[in-house]
Amino acid sequence: MNNIIKEGTLNNGQAFYVRCLMMGDLPLIMNLQEVVKNTLKTAAILKPLSQQEFSFILSGNGSMIGIFTGNELIAFRALLIPEINDEHLGVDAGLTRDELAKVIYSEVSNVHPTYRGNGLQTLMERHYLKRSIAGDSALYVQPSLRLTSRASKIN
């Protein structure tokens, strides 16, 4: 298991590890998304990504991390580097063209229903916020369109 970003223990004592996801993980990603989608009481809560959208992100147009117990993917988060055009969410927020190039979208996050309540969403969020503060990207757009700058993340 190389490329491990973090290791930890779930509330039930089970070990987990976090690593970057790759194109070879696409079947696991699609399967987990389907499990999550099928357990939601209200389907509109989740806007699932297509296999093509995940492939686009995994082809260097974003970043994905996954949390595993053994070989089972139990959670993932996908970030997208958006095209700079008139539909860019930063345009609506009044960002300059230079700032638009520093924005990354939080596309989707899924946690297997069995593993909810372990803080996995927070763990994945913190991973990306730390990278942002370290300089990987200056601005981070949440699905709610809330813009967060480096300065406000540190506070």
CATH fold, domain 4-154, is: Aminopeptidase (3.40.630)
Model confidence over 116-154: pLDDT tens digits? Answer: 999 999 999 988 877 665 555 544 444 443 334 333 333
What's the pLDDT at 139? 47
What's the pLDDT at 135? 58
Instruction: Delimit the domains of the chain by residue range.
Output: 4-154
Sheet of strand 139-141, all strands in order from the earlier edge strand to the far edge: 4-9, 15-20, 62-69, 72-80, 103-111, 139-141, 147-149
pTM as predicted? 0.82
